[in-house]
């Protein structure tokens, strides 16, 4: 990396945060475990995992590692932070769809959001790189009058309009997909006027106005439409010759602590089981949780008197947990931090500075705090900064 990029890396490390674009380089630990996690992204089979780690001890780092590795291997990715208090509730799938659309990223393409996906799809059409199996069925001899490829009218109408859309129509489509709960652009009459009747100079859709009902267009109406929309996102990625779609869900314990009612929690658990079992959506999904999450879920249900609940469902959830980082691993991480700092500021740390850092490495094993790795990273960068300014 050059000095500018190294400076950006160090700025992230000052806060103990994994630097975007270089997370793999700053991920240390048991290489066989890291390889096992990476191997899941080498095939097209559905993989859904709970990623276990304590707060401040690599939970988000693991999720960002998956994101970076997935993008590198040609997957479309969306990272979503669950936050029931800010309108991202896992019991409300339309809210999840909105957050997923806002977080979409595509390999080798700048930007984030559903606009990135739609622009990428349009570019694949223009360059002739769209799947040869999908393209003929999609445009239907240029008529664009049949929903053959995608399951939902919502995604099909949005994509079809995007191909020829004026800028104002594009903004409506983005708002519709990314904020289904927070705007009125999803009303069927409005969408019909804008995306069907208003696009007749480009497409001749013979279907009557009464066909475009709330059940077909309103993402807040039913869960089946939301699951189908997720499948359409995955199919769109495959049509663009990507590997598929990877979902990364952070702060998933929000379902335990911030959903107010037990029926909402049970609905969130059901959606979790649906993803794990692949009943509605077969793709890759990773949930960042703390150790003991499964037991906490059972305890919460028991605390609310839900004794007849099928607790065995939780035991079927596949989990992944990295072995705690050891001294040799932290020494390797330290060397990489020093190297990045040296490049960023074009200097060579003194022997006194390196000795001070070595002492921090030696004391790492005796630190029992949950966020010891994050704090160690911050302290190493602080020591390097002090030595540089001396």
- Residue reference for tokens 């995992």: 49
Mean pLDDT of 283-307: 93
CA distances from 366 to 9, 28, 290, 360 (A): 28, 19, 22, 10
For residue 248, the number of C-alpha atoms closer than 13 Å in the C-beta half-sphere is 22
Instruction: For residue range 70-109, list pLDDT tens digits in order.
Output: 999 999 999 999 999 888 999 999 999 999 999 999 999 9
- Which residue, among 223, 245, 249, has the nearest Cα to 235 in the 3D structure? 245
- The widest CA-to-CA distance across the chain, in whole angstroms, is 79
- Which residue, among 164, 166, 167, 148, has the nearest Cα to 156 in the 3D structure? 148
Cα–Cα distance between 112 and 80 in angstroms, integer?
12
Indicate whether 56 pLDDT > 70. no
Give the H or E element holding residue 145. none
Cα–Cα distance between 269 and 266 in angstroms, integer?
5
- Residue reference for tokens 């990045």: 340
Interior/surface letters 348-384, b for 16+ CB within 10 angstroms, e for the rest? ebeeebbebbeebbeebeeeeeeebbbbbbbbbbebb
The reported pLDDT for the residue numbered 157 is 92
The reported pLDDT for the residue numbered 45 is 81
Would you say 26 and 19 are in contact if contact means Cβ atoms under 8 Å apart?
Answer: yes
The reported pLDDT for the residue numbered 147 is 77
On whether the pTM is more than 0.85, the answer is yes
Instruction: For residue range 151-210, list pLDDT tens digits in order.
Output: 999 999 999 999 887 677 899 899 999 998 776 556 788 888 888 888 888 887 888 888
Q: 10-14, 24-28, 103-107, 251-255: which range is least confident on average? A: 24-28
The reported pLDDT for the residue numbered 184 is 57
Instruction: For residue range 155-165, list pLDDT tens digits in order.
Output: 999 999 998 87
């Amino acid at each position: 990396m050059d000095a500018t990029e190294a400076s950006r890396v160090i700025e992230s490390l000052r806060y103990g945060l994994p630097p975007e674009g270089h997370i793999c380089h700053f991920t240390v630990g048991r290489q066989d475990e890291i390889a096992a996690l990476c191997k899941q992204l080498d095939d097209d089979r559905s993989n859904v995992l709970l990623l276990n780690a304590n707060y401040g001890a690599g939970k988000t780092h693991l999720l960002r590692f998956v994101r970076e590795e997935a993008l590198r291997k040609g997957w479309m990715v969306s990272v979503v932070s669950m936050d029931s208090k800010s309108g991202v509730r896992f019991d409300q799938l339309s809210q999840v769809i909105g957050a997923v659309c806002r977080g979409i990223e595509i390999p080798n393409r700048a930007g984030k959001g559903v606009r990135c996906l739609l622009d990428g799809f349009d570019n694949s059409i223009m360059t002739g790189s769209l799947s040869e199996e999908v393209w003929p069925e999609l445009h239907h001899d240029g008529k664009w009058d049949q929903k053959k490829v995608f399951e939902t009218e919502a995604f099909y109408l949005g994509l079809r309009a995007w191909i020829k859309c004026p800028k104002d129509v594009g903004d409506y489509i983005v708002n519709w997909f990314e904020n289904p709960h927070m705007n009125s652009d999803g009303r069927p009459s409005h969408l019909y006027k804008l995306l069907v009747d208003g696009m007749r100079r480009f497409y001749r859709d013979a279907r009557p106005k009464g066909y475009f009902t709330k059940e077909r267009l309103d993402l807040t109406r039913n869960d089946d439409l939301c699951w189908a929309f997720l499948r359409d996102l995955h199919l769109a990625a495959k049509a663009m010759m990507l590997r598929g779609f990877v979902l990364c869900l952070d702060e998933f314990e929000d379902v335990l602590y911030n959903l107010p009612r037990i029926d909402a929690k049970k609905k969130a658990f059901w959606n979790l089981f649906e993803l794990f079992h692949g009943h509605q959506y077969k793709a890759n999904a990773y949930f960042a949780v703390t150790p003991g999450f499964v037991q906490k879920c059972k305890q919460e249900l028991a605390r609310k008197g839900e004794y007849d609940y099928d607790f065995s469902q939780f035991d079927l959830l596949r989990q992944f947990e990295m072995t705690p980082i050891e001294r040799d691993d932290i020494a390797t991480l330290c060397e990489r931090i020093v190297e990045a700092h040296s490049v960023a500021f074009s200097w060579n740390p003194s022997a006194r500075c390196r000795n001070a850092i070595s002492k921090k490495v030696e004391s790492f094993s005796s630190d029992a705090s949950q966020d010891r790795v994050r704090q160690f990273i911050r302290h190493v960068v602080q020591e390097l900064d002090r030595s540089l300014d001396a």
